[in-house]
Amino acid sequence: MPDSSRVQPVAFNCEGGLVKNRSTFLMQPGEALVLENFEPDIEGGYRRINGYRKLINQIVPQTTSSGEKILMIAKFADKYLAARGEKIFSSASAELSTVIEADTSMTGSGTIGVDSVAGFSSSGTLEIAISETEIERFTYTGVNASSDPPTFTGVTRQVDSTNARKHLATIQVSENWTERDSGRTNAGKYRFERFNFNGTDKIILVDEVNAPVVIDSSMNFVDVSASSVAGSKFVASFKNHMFYAGKGTTPEELIFSVPFDEDDFTGGSGAGSIRVDDTITGIKVFRDSLFIFCENRIFKLTGSSSSDFAIQAVTRSIGCINGDTIQEFGGDLIFLGPDGLRTVAATARIGDTELGTISRNVQSIFDDNIKNSSLFESVVITDKTQYRIFFSKTGQSNSQTRGIICVLKQEGFEFSEIRGIKPASTDTFVETGNTFVLHGDFEGYVHRQEIGNTFDGTPILARYRSSDMSFGDTGVRKHMQRVIINYKPESAIDADLLVRYDNESPDSSRPAAYALDTADVAALFGVSTFSTEESLVQFIFGGPSQPLVRQPVEGSGFSVVLRVNDGGVTAPYSLKGFQLEYQLGARR
């Protein structure tokens, strides 16, 4: 007989991610049955995700209806390009470098410091958000890119009767949208490719209906003249040829230009076309091949010119549901197949290719969303080795919209669920070592993800639920004594710890929530700012960066569940692990 008076400790790390395909009896203690708006942390544990906020404070102008969604957002030549309705616009955005006090006078000689003035006009109007519905408008007459920080000069505030408010550092400063192209009748979803064939950076856009349009760094817009590629859905630059695919009239055809000219399709000069025996759903360059994804097949094109281009089947039994899910991720190509996420991995054997399913742990979520989602979007956050896929459904609110986070770790892929982000278009890029994740929404705004503590003012409702832990014996009652929580705060946090018993049976003990709150955060000299007695967050120099919270708890049961419900508006933090201490009771 075990000594029932002795406290038994059981500790586990938060690892393994969301698991929906195994019995809770077979799950490891660190795996999660619910993991919503937490992400598997590459540094270990489960981290409450960052939010998003408006990148451009102004709404993108509509063509005919306020219901027009953002068909494209892309960063190019220091500007942000957005498509809505029948038009394409550009704008610029920066982060405020210094605080602007509410009583700071600016009457034509003021200055505003930002992290960069690249992309902004030499004079114009700026907007800084005060709240979700209120802005303060400024005008400026010049820019100084060489000052530290870069500044707008000749600034006047409270323009157009807007109110002066205090503006904190790092919030967004943006200019008005400028119309760049119009008449793109019935434009659908845009896809784009950045390229440089002649020493000039360019971007090419296709919109499923109209002629492709090429934009250079001076914001000159030129349509591709060939009617054979008008209405293309997909575009990719491969071996100095521009490839177009996905026309509604010839969905199985891939057309490519002559070398170094995206608008020359002369057959004798290196242009041509290739047909496959299935409808193309996406194209993507990966290493030395152009992968051609179809509804039920996948091909790859190798070679360097029309004289040696060769196509071969990768698989004739698996296809790609949607081309907007194809991303290069973790050294592979990842895409959405009919049975969830798959990878295309080049193996050590030259010319061989391996296909693998990676999302079995969350297969039920894909089954629920693949069949009735009207739009799929995906992004890659490289510094987190993270892939995100979003399932946007017609008539569904932002708060109901779900997606999947996939993180590549040394042990394999871990998953969690994301809820509250509904993108209509996306872009991801890396600039000076920082990863920028952008999305356009269904209401006409452009946002930046991975920034802020809310979803543009809406609380981030994050939830964690452990597996049902019986500690090896479901027949013996456990009298819980305490839970020790190991976590890593990034600022003050506000969350609740709940302890439940017997698979959350309503007939078992249901203690009240235990507050998992702190305003004390470890600080490093030279990195953290000093706090005052009145500060909401108290930085403790030399304090523990991953504190342990010893929480006495009540109740007993044959199995134990831990839940963490986040308050929704505080900074991210990582749940690193738990230790449960209990005494053994009677066997039932």
3-state percent helix, strand, coil for the chain, nearest multiple of 5: 5, 50, 45
- Please tell me whether residues 102 and 159 are part of one structural domain: yes
Residues 484 and 543 in one domain: yes
Query: Quick one: 237 and 275 in the same domain?
Result: yes
539 lies in which domain range?
7-36+462-587
Sort 401 into a burial class: Cβ within 10 Å, 0-12 / 13-18 / 19+: buried
Last residue of some domain: 272, 296, 319?
319
How would you label 366-393 residue by residue, b for 16+ Cβ within 10 Å and e otherwise? beebbeebebbbbbbbeebbbbbbbbbe
Domain assignment present for 415: no
Mean pLDDT by 10 residues, the chain (588 residues): 71 97 89 98 96 96 95 97 98 96 95 97 95 91 97 96 94 96 96 97 98 97 97 98 97 98 95 97 96 96 96 92 95 92 64 72 93 90 96 91 96 96 96 92 97 94 96 93 94 92 94 83 43 46 68 96 92 96 92
Co-location of 171 and 295 in the same domain: no
28 and 87 assigned to the same domain: no
Give pLDDT, residue 567.
Answer: 84
Which CATH number belongs to the domain containing residue 473 in this structure?
A: 2.60.120
What is the torsion angle, in degrees rounded to the nearest 10, for the CA atoms of residue 179, residue 180, residue 186 and residue 190?
-110
The verdict on 206 and 175 lying in the same domain is no
120/211 same-domain check: no
| Residue 467 resides in a domain | yes
What is the pLDDT at residue 433?
Answer: 84
pTM above 0.75, yes or no: yes
Same domain for 24 and 69, yes or no, is: no
Beta bridge partners of 517: 494
Which contacts (CB < 8 Å, 24+ apart) does range 310-315 have? Answer: 311/274, 311/276, 314/344, 314/353, 314/355, 315/355
The CA distance from 272 to 251, in Å, is 16
Let me know whether 103 and 129 are in one domain: yes
Residue 407 within any structural domain of the chain: no
Report if residue 56 sits inside a domain.
yes
303: left (phi over 0), alpha (psi -120 to 50) or beta: left
In the chain, the number of structural domains is 3
The answer to whether residues 30 and 118 belong to one domain is no
> Based on the domain organization, do 291 and 196 belong to the same domain?
yes
C-alpha distances in angstroms, 507 versus 202, 355, 481, 501? 65, 47, 20, 9
* The domain boundary residue, chosen from 182, 214, 231: 182
- What pLDDT does residue 463 have? 97
Residue 13, in any domain of the structure: yes
292 assigned to some structural domain: yes
Name 337's bridge partners.
Answer: 340
| 497, 569: one domain | yes
- Last residue of a domain, which of 124, 159, 182? 182
